[in-house]
Chain A
Amino acid sequence: MDRRESFKAIVLGAVSSAILLESCGTKTEENVAEVIETPAGEPGRMPEEVAHQEAVSSKTFFAEHEMATITLLANIIIPADEKSGNAEEAGVPEFIEFIVKDKPEFQTPMRSGLKWLDIECLNRFEKAFKDCDEKQQMQVVDAIAYPQKAAPEMKKGVAFFSLMRNLTATGFFTSEMGVKDLGYEGNRPNLWKGVPDEVLKEYNLAYTEKELRECVRYDDLA
């Protein structure tokens, strides 16, 4: 993520919270611009964290060729369907680039895994993965996507694909598109009034009289 972009996102987040909570006063467009220009004043962040963030963001880990391969794989793992877009549209490749710099323990498994994939494709088709046609790509993916039935000599590829799957899923379902896709409805001020009646019925459960008597209900509020 672009550094300027990321600060903008953080500031906008703060503004929307202020509106929701009515506790921070009203912020104007000028305030927002000011905060973006002076990122050192980012509230609630230690200087050490800000420095770490800058250091991580200023580096590039994956080469262009590697990023192209990651993007292809991410879109194979999470493609677009009738409900939401694909991993690329959700910013998954950028997330993977960031997280391997933030968590360096992923660097060797990812880089060596990408290399394994290319060598496998070279051996099979005399081309790197990204230059293979779709049928060829899927042939290799099918050989490493199913840990239980994969051939023993595919072990390294299976481990890499599982890591790629995990990073892609985490990146996708923590993106705005992915959270919406999942249907997570929280992270907003509300009043908890218990499990909806129709859900209780579905699972054949009910609150006890004691619970209904003792717990907070907010029935007086709309």
Chain B
Amino acid sequence: MKDFQVKKEAKKYDAVIVGSGAGGGMAAYVLAKAGLKVCMLEAGAMYDPATDSAQLKNPWESPRRGASTKFRPFGDFDGCYWGWEIDGEPYTKAEGTEWDWWRARMLGGRTNHWGRISLRFGPKDFKHKSIDGLGEDWPIGYEDVKPYYDRVDRLIGVFGTNEGLEDEPDGVFLPPPLPRLHELMIKKAATGIGIPVIPSRLSVLTKKINDERGQCFYCAQCGRSCKAYADFSSSSCLVKPAVETGNLDVIPHAMAREVITNSEGLATGVSYVDTLDMQDYQVDGRVVILAASACESARLLLNSVSRRHPNGLANSSDVVGKYLHDSTGAAMGGVLPHLMGRKRYNEDGVGGMHVYTPWWLDNKKLDFPRGYHIEYWGGMQQPAYGFGWGIENLNGKMQVHGKTKEAGGYGKSLKDDYRFMYGAGVGMAGRGEAIAFEHNYCEIDPNVVDKYGIPVLRFNVKHSDYEINQAKHMNETFKEIMHEMGAVITWGGDNGPHNKWGLENPGKIIHEAGTVRMGNDPKRSALNKWSQAHDCKNLFCVDGGQFVSQADKNITWTIMALSMRASEYIVDQMKKQNL
């Protein structure tokens, strides 16, 4: 991808996009393909999985054997630059509240390493207030988004199966991979107690879909990003082809400072700091599209204060930053004694689970209002840092080759324990829907700026009993499945009220959403149903910020569908000279 520099008197673009992840990448793709001149600002470095991925490296090629660093919290081979903390870019939290904020700084953002779990929202997910009275209904329904989901499925590629489930809509699927051994065991155990297990839905190409991208070769390393472009990353699948149209210029190392507006209150462009030379620049466009992540987009709007927009841009409703929520998460792990000493073969598969459990119960009969899905893992994975850790808590409880040993130990006998137990691990995690509450929010911290002098976010988020009760239910479900499988629980089994049932801090599941929500009422929402600001018609937000609620689904597929929808609306409105 080409390098170039923009000076202050740069060419005027049709659109300026802030952020290059799922939302920004899709907007760039649609607009550039439509012939518009587009400029994309990315706060991090250029990145191309074909040359930059650590795919197929062996653990010993990392001196830390794949262990995490602050630069790579998911491990040394992970495909994401930065994560929970970034040098010189702090954020703060109100006392007594929790929010862990993941930030990627690279072309493609988090999509380079995400789990590729590509779930559509179902009809109920857009109208949940009508069902349980909580939160808010979306101004759009499944039927509005379905055509875009279908097109995202075809454009990006996703495997799965049409199961005819009401709230897990059918899609345009590639064939899924067959379940692994432990997944067959999970399926047998769970379905036996009424918990469905169906093929997962991941944006991984089990079949080739075009000449630009390869077919999956089953190394299980989607998290490192794929050199063959056989899974979805915004960098490889959207930004790259958009650049190839000649209509998209990408400016890396560009940290957006604020959206510039004119005397009529319309957006004229974006000012940014070049993170390498620390100078300020400005790039102008007919429309400005925010896709910097839910919280970064909210931060940018709140920092864009002007005479016409004294409360921050697109914020006359005062909702920007509010209704912040993340998926809930709790997990449990164990070992399957009958898998010990198992026959070796390559069971890498795709980078993630081959089966999952969609939400299967009726919340009206439960003490929490929204559902969760279950993700699974296990088997003979590539050994990495942490391998064998804590065997002293395990090998005294297991029969090794028919004998029970004293826990701990050393020597040939211990060495054989590791071999014997390898590949017998199994685990599961719930990912559920949290309620979007007005009192969970981020705002500008009046006292703290980052190293670019940009005021930072202060978070104020707490879980409610709804989320905690949901996590309790997850734990009970996990225990049942583990029991049915004959697994020995090795962690998570002692979750309880003392630790909110293992419920992760909000933010930790990295599905932030809700901070720039859409709605029909300009007094209660920042955007209209086209992801367009009520207060500023040439400003759009196409990331998780626009979400009214986030369902018990991972949000990436919906971000892309909504970004495609908003981008086509922009093209249409420009043709009609409304923008």
Contacts and interface: CB of A to CB of B under 8 A. Distances in A.
Interface string B146-177: 00000000000001010000000000001111
Contacts of B407: 146-148
Interface stretch (A62-70, A75-83, A116-124, A128-136): A75-83
A195 B180 contact: yes
B542 to A, nearest CB: 27
From B63, B175, B387, B412, name the one whose CB has the most chain A CB atoms within 10 angstroms: B63
B503 to A, nearest CB: 25
B76 to A, nearest CB: 9
A139 interface: no
A199 B346 contact: no
Contacts of A31: none
B52 A44 contact: yes
B415 A46 contact: no
Given A44-B51, A176-B58, A178-B383, A216 B207 contact: yes
Given A148-B406, A185-B346, A77 B414 contact: yes
Interface string A96-129: 0011001100000000000000000000000000
B343 interface: yes
Contacts of A205: 181, 184-185, 188
B54 interface: yes
Interface of B is mostly: loop
A17 B47 CA distance: 18
B220 A49 contact: no
A171 interface: yes
Interface stretch (B30-38, B64-72, B281-289): B64-72
B408 interface: yes
Nearest to A166: B389
Given A173-B388, A186-B380, A203-B338, A215 B178 contact: yes
B218 A190 contact: yes
B392 interface: yes
Contacts of B410: 76-77, 141, 145, 165
A148 B408 CA distance: 8
A203 B411 contact: no
Given A48-B87, A214-B161, A165 B414 contact: yes
Contacts of A217: 178
Contact of B181 (A146, A195, A212): A195
B391 A173 contact: no
A199 B218 contact: no
Given A169-B391, A188-B219, A174 B385 contact: yes
Contacts of B383: 173-174, 178-179, 182, 184
B53 A195 contact: no
Contacts, number: 243
Interface in A172-210: 173-176, 178-179, 181-196, 198-200, 202-203, 205, 207
B29 interface: no
A165 B65 CA distance: 16
Contact of A173 (B348, B380, B387): B387
A102 B408 contact: no
Contact of B64 (A99, A141, A145, A183): A99
B347 A13 contact: no
Nearest to A195: B181
B56 A13 contact: yes
B569 interface: no
B179 interface: yes
A91 B218 CA distance: 29
B380 A184 contact: yes
A102 B67 contact: yes
B387 A192 contact: no
A4 interface: no
A59 to B, nearest CB: 13
Nearest to B176: A215
Contacts of A16: 56
B199 interface: yes
B228 interface: yes
A215 B173 CA distance: 11
Nearest to B106: A46
B345 interface: yes
B350 interface: yes
Contacts of A162: 392, 408
A78 B82 CA distance: 35
B274 to A, nearest CB: 15
Contacts of A43: 51-52
Contact of B391 (A148, A165, A175, A212): A165
B264 interface: no
Contact of A189 (B64, B67, B185, B217): B217
B45 A79 contact: no
A23 B380 CA distance: 28
A32 interface: no
Contacts of A200: 181, 184
Nearest to B180: A195
A48 B342 CA distance: 42
Interface in B17-63: 45, 47, 50-61, 63
A21 interface: yes
A83 B383 CA distance: 18
25 contacts: A44-B51, A46-B82, A48-B87, A78-B414, A99-B64, A102-B64, A103-B67, A145-B410, A146-B408, A166-B390, A169-B388, A170-B386, A170-B387, A176-B58, A179-B383, A181-B419, A185-B345, A186-B220, A187-B382, A192-B177, A200-B181, A203-B181, A212-B178, A214-B161, A216-B207
Interface of B: 45, 47, 50-61, 63-67, 69, 71-72, 81-82, 87, 159, 161, 174-181, 184-185, 188, 199, 206-207, 214, 217-221, 227-228, 338, 342-350, 380-392, 396, 406-412, 414-416, 418-419, 422
Given A81-B416, A148-B408, 18 more contacts: A10-B57, A21-B217, A57-B63, A81-B415, A102-B67, A146-B409, A170-B385, A173-B387, A174-B60, A174-B65, A175-B60, A183-B419, A190-B218, A192-B348, A194-B178, A200-B181, A211-B179, A216-B178
- For the complex of A and B, the 3 pairs showing the least CB-CB separation, nearest first, are A44-B52, A169-B388, A194-B178
